[in-house]
Amino acid sequence: MKKTKWIWCPNAFERYHGMKLHNRRTKGGFHIPPMWRVDAPGRNLFLYKKAETEKEETIVFHANTQNAALRIDHSEWYPEGSVVTVPAGKHMIKVNAHKEDGFPAVYIEGDTYASDGSWRHGSYGGADAHAGYNDMYTELSDNPEVFKFAYKRIEPVKSEDVAGGTLYDFGKESFGNIIFEGVSAKEAEFSAYCGESREEALDYKNSIVKINVKCEDGKYASESVAFRFVFVPDFGAEYTLAADFEYLPVENRGTFKSSDSLINKIYDIAVYTLGLNSREGFFDGIKRDRWVWGGDAYQSFLANYYLAFDSDTVRRTLRILHGDDPVTMHVNTIPDYSFYWVISLWEYYCYTGDLKFIASAYSDMRSLLGFAEGRLSKQGLYEKRGGDWVFVDWAEHFDKDAGPICAEQMLLCRAYECAASCAELMKDTEGAERYSARAKDVREKINALYWDEEKRAFIDEFSTGNRNVTRHANIFAILYDLTTEERKAAIIENVIKNDAVPAIVTPYFKFFELAAMCEIGDFAYVTDMLRSYWGGMVAEGATTFWEKYEPDMKGAEHYAMYGHPYGKSLCHAWGGTTPLYVLGKYILGVRPTSANYETYEVRPCMQELGLGAFSGKVPTPRGDIEVSVSGGEVCVRSDISGGKLILGGEEYVIEKDTPLNIKTI
């Protein structure tokens, strides 16, 4: 028999788990729902498959709801649980199902008609599509309404009696269920407090993560929460405390090692940070929001391509972020995040070559970009509208509300370019021409309206007359190739290397800054920043990287944000993405030059950066690429063909499974 999968309405799985995760956020023990629309999955399901067989076959029909029925052609309906004989010949099998408190899914055992991605979903008057499925759910015992995490038991590394209770330290940031075993009081019900820092766990009046514990099915356990420290006030009973660490079981295929122990530690902490935030989708952070945010996700996608190459989580995240049509607000209410969504779709194809997903998401891309276009000014530029949150970065030195800011136009332009490329893939000639024309128009307006010839830089906004220069738009101009080479050179001199221009202070925008510095070849700046900024967090005892780091702060000052003494996330996705991305793409120098790494280049950094010898592995959909640089020799070994090693203007063909060794001195 064929391998059977649970199947459902397209996007129902992502809608359901997105709905659940976005409504799980708590603060001090009560729930805080998101400020954007969260869509539920459809309650109705209509699936069908047409096939022809030479002999009769037996199928077994299962569903996760009793309100489900199967029909062969125009025969009688069969209820869930039926064993049905399908006669030889050409037939169409149809399934209808409804589920009120989740989403309907079916599982059909058989051969030709086994449920899998070849089944179609009838969309009740719209365009039919392939059934939804996920390769994690292939057994009848699987429940697609329960997300499949892996678990392992972990113990505190130490404990201390303090403040009328016991403080447990698990040694590093973690996520999972806090387990109380051997509770001596049968009717015990109590509260405990988790913290990313010792101070937070002990300051229970201000603790963001409060857990209320009571006995359920003979077990005392919390819901899944973030913690390093757990403070349990004395509740008059004996117990033993542990935790079930909850994680997504994906393999980290990417690696990086060098002679610099600090860089190695930074890389390892970044790996752990991204892993903790890789869940139903790519989260922002595991303590406070536990939401899927488009900007955090965009950077996680790119880092992921150099670590786990987990395409499934990328696809899930994009579907969670989009929601249902019609689109009525920007992704997370943030226009830049809508533009990142479109950019992410094209970049996903560049790394994976997954044309099937692009086809399934193309209408979503068009609807999202169409919504954004409906909110443009008469000039065709993005201007803030009611309900929009113009984010760009946590920066206070430019006016996001004054008018059409430059950074947003640059993201709009890049989104148009990526949309045009996706349209070409879909053979939508009209769409490709339209998006290309709009990209060209926005690019011309960026260079005409925002370039200040006196300052030799892009200004933030032109309508107020302030002519303010910050790094953000100028970084995008380099990173997304939005201006001339002559102007890029001026930006490097007048903005990038100008200490009078306020520095980037968040790990989020340092991602773009360091990528831009790599693009212009200033790798020393990049490794120095890794050592000082990310190394600064390491010096403060970080076991995961933070939402924001300000070197001048001391002690518990580091934990405050958003007006709350512990509001800052100390395990934030955008804190961990930069080291993974820049070390893989720019120091090892591996990048695809066509989709799915059918062609690729290896251009390792040969500048003296204090790394000594370094080596690493970059994952691709078709195999791994290993690079090492040591003592003036570069070695590349690859599981795949199509690559070129580029050194000093010379090109060398990389043969599959054949080590290539080149001496540079």
Greater confidence (463 vs 498) lies with 498
Q: Which residue has the tokens 């580029």?
A: 646
First to last CA, the chain: 59
The mean pLDDT value for 474-489 works out to 97
| Percent share of the chain, pLDDT over 90 | 92
Provide the pLDDT for residue 517.
95
State pLDDT tens for residues 1-17.
568 999 999 999 999 99
Residue 597 banded pLDDT, cuts 50, 70, 90:
very high
pLDDT category of residue 123 using cuts at 50, 70 and 90: confident
What is the pLDDT, as a whole number, of residue 664? 86
Mean pLDDT, residues 130-143 = 97
pLDDT at 512 over 80: yes
332: left (phi over 0), alpha (psi -120 to 50) or beta: left
pLDDT at site 398: 78
* Per-residue pLDDT, 2: 67
Look-up: residue for tokens 């276009």?
Answer: 373
Q: Which of 212, 106, 115, 230 is nearest to 165 (CA)?
A: 230
Q: Which of 219, 155, 231 lies closest to 193 in space, CA to CA?
A: 231
SS3 category, 374 = coil
Predicted pLDDT of residue 362:
97
Would residue 176 be called left, alpha or beta, if left means φ above 0 and alpha means ψ between -120 and 50 degrees? left
Tokens of 472: 């953000």
pLDDT of residue 343: 98
Residue 370 has a pLDDT of 97
Q: What is the mean pLDDT of residues 346-371?
A: 97
Average pLDDT over residues 91-100: 97
Are 167 and 212 spatial neighbours (Cβ–Cβ below 8 Å)? no
Task: Express each pLDDT in 388-444 by its tens digit.
Answer: 999 999 987 777 777 899 999 999 999 999 999 999 999 999 999 999 999 999 999
Q: Quick one: average pLDDT of 577-586?
A: 98
DSSP 278: B
SS3 for 266? helix
| Eight-class DSSP state of 664 | -
* Token duo for residue 306: 């150099």
Q: Tell me the Ramachandran region of residue 256: left when phi exceeds 0, alpha when psi lies from -120 to 50, beta otherwise.
A: beta
Where do we find the tokens 């003494």? 565
Question: H-helix or E-strand containing 474?
Answer: helix 471-479
Q: Count of residues for the chain?
A: 665
The answer to whether 573 and 300 have CB atoms below 8 angstroms apart is yes
- Mean of per-residue pLDDT scores for the chain: 96
Beta bridge mates, 215:
220
Contact 634, 661 (CB under 8 A): yes
Quote the Cα angle for 267-270-276, to 5°: 145
**Taking a C-beta distance cutoff of 8 angstroms, is the pair 247, 149 a contact?**
yes
* Number of other CB atoms surrounding residue 514 within 10 Å: 26
Asked whether 231 and 193 are in contact (CB, 8 A), the reply is yes
In the block, which residue shows the tokens 């070559």?
Answer: 353
Q: Which residue has the higher pLDDT, 215 or 439?
A: 439
Opening angle at CA 414, ends 524 and 284, nearest 5: 70
What tokens appear for 90 in the block?
């050409």
Is pLDDT of 121 > 90?
A: yes
Please say if the pLDDT value at position 28 is more than 90: no
Cα–Cα separations (whole angstroms), residue 89 to 53, 60, 209: 5, 19, 60
Burial class of residue 38, CB neighbours in 10 A (0-12, 13-18, 19+): middle
The residue written with tokens 């779709």 in the block is 345
Q: How confident is the model at residue 290 (pLDDT cuts 50, 70, 90)?
A: very high
Contacts of 419 (CB under 8 A, 6+ apart): 342, 346, 365, 366, 369, 431, 435
Tens digit of each residue's pLDDT (9 = 90 or more) over 297-329: 999 999 999 999 999 999 999 999 999 999 999
Give every CB contact of residue 22 below 8 A, 6+ residues apart in sequence: 33, 34, 38, 291, 292
Write down the residue that tokens 């996706």 correspond to: 422
Sequence-distant (6+) residues with CB within 8 A of 227 are: 170, 173, 174, 175, 178, 194, 195, 196, 201, 209, 243
- Whole-angstrom CA distances from 592 to 310, 356, 513, 596 are 16, 19, 21, 7
Q: For 541-554, what is the mean pLDDT?
A: 96
pTM: 0.97
Show the domains of the chain with their CATH numbers: 7-133 (2.60.120.260), 150-247 (2.60.120.260), 251-319+504-587 (no CATH), 335-390+396-502 (1.50.10.10), 595-663 (2.60.420)
Burial zone of 11 (CB within 10 Å; 0-12 exposed, 13-18 middle, 19+ buried): buried
